[in-house]
Amino acid sequence: MACCAHRSTLPDSTLTDQLAALDPALRRELEAHGFRDEQLLRWAGERAGDPSRNWVKGRVEVPAPGDVQPLPARDSAEGRELAERGMAALAAGELAVIVLAGGMATRMGGVVKALVEALPGLTFLDARLAERAHWERKAGAPLPLWLMSSTATDEPLRVALGAAGPAVGIFGQFASLRLTPDGLLFLDAHGRPSVYAPGHGDLPDALAQSGLLAGFVARGGRTVWIANLDNLGASIDPLVLGWHLARSAQLTVEVVEQYPGDKGGLPVRLDGRLEILENFRVPPGFDQDAVGVFNTNTFLVDAPSLAGLEMDWTYFRVEKTVEGRPAVQFERLIGELTSTLETRFLLVPREGDDSRFVPVKEPGDLARNAPQIERLMAPILGTAS
């Protein structure tokens, strides 16, 4: 979406006037990505910055004993049985993988993160493509790989995929426009509206719109595995897949031991129901450190349940600094799937050779995690000694 090509001289009287004066080409592009005037106008009415608007209502408690279950040892009888079950599902073509690839590596110079080298000569996109090819060979069955792009990454991803493009599905997040704290359109230094992607909670709706999921389910697809692009630890593992299937779970969330300073999703009980809550949704008085585990943003979802999903998403008010000025945007988060789908929490390793949480958010993470990434990629690339 070439949003940045559109120059605008917009009135500053009301948001309604500004929307009416949008460049027609920009409007067409926005509407193709789920934009609706009425939604933005509703958001503009929620200008108050009181953090309590994002707090959940209800009783928040730490998970009860048994709510978070550890991944069985790979060499145990249970581990071998679960891995065999997961491998059978792979061989039956029952798994599809979604990689969240809408992000820009702002702390690495504002480049498309998928095209950043995870290892010398190997981009994050290359790594995900190699992983797919590896498991297709082992399973002897197709393994659909779908990338959720954003307006900033869609075209670069398609160019980078080249000949592999038809074999990899791409579907786009939705798009919206940032606001000023006063509820008008936020305009950049060139007078252009500021386009952004309103969160990875777009995934169910954007995926449904693409038709990819419906076709997969019609062919007997059973499980969708969702992972962050930059966490190569969240790779395909028959043991994890078998664990998910053995529990007939609608949704399995991978969690790891919580470290001081972790910010993101916390597994909790909300009025007795297992859910993921982002830190900013937890009301004061709840001891977040008492939870002890942390969401990795890796999910295994029952494909028919995801295809039939009906839920009212919560859009959260987020304050940003853009070009040195305050801006407001509204986002929805994929962890809110836990508010509707029956959820299981799976504790996976955070440290050691078997770590399933190796995120890369800044250049220092690349250097620090390079040995672990090399170990993870060695069997996939055929470089294991």
Domain extent listing, the chain: 3-60+73-234+305-334+365-381
pLDDT tops 90 at residue 11? no
Beta-bridge mates of residue 43: none
* pLDDT for the residue 384: 63
At 163 the pLDDT is: 66
pLDDT at 293 over 60: yes
- Give 180-194 pLDDT, tens digit per residue: 999 999 999 999 999
User: Rounded to an integer, what distance in angstroms lies between the CA atom of residue 54 and that of residue 56?
Assistant: 6
Give tens-digit pLDDT for 307-336. 999 999 999 998 999 999 999 999 999 999
The reported pLDDT for the residue numbered 329 is 93
CB 133 within 8 A of CB 142: no
Query: Homologous superfamily of 3-60+73-234+305-334+365-381 in CATH?
Result: Spore Coat Polysaccharide Biosynthesis Protein SpsA; Chain A (3.90.550.10)
Does residue 169 carry a pLDDT above 90? yes
Residue carrying the six token digits 């992607």: 197
Q: How far apart are CA 46 and CA 38, in angstroms?
A: 13
Segment 51-70 mean pLDDT: 92
**Which of the two residues, 276 and 102, has the higher pLDDT score?**
276
pTM: 0.92
Q: Using pLDDT thresholds of 50, 70 and 90, give the confidence band for residue 13.
A: confident
What is the C-alpha radius of gyration for the chain, rounded to an integer number of angstroms?
21
Strand pairing class (169-172; 145-149) = parallel
Cβ pair 143, 130 in contact under 8 A: no
- Region 335-358: mean pLDDT is 95
Residue 1 predicted with pLDDT over 70: no
Sign of the torsion formed by the C-alpha atoms of 103, 106, 108 and 112: positive
| Secondary structure letter of residue 34 according to DSSP | T
Task: Return the pLDDT at 205.
Answer: 95
Both tokens assigned to 166: 């038809």
- Any residues with CB less than 8 A from the CB of 215 and at least 6 apart, and which? none
Taking residues 354-377, what's their average pLDDT? 91
Q: How confident is the model at residue 52 (pLDDT cuts 50, 70, 90)?
A: confident
Lowest mean pLDDT among 45-54, 122-131, 238-247, 367-376: 45-54
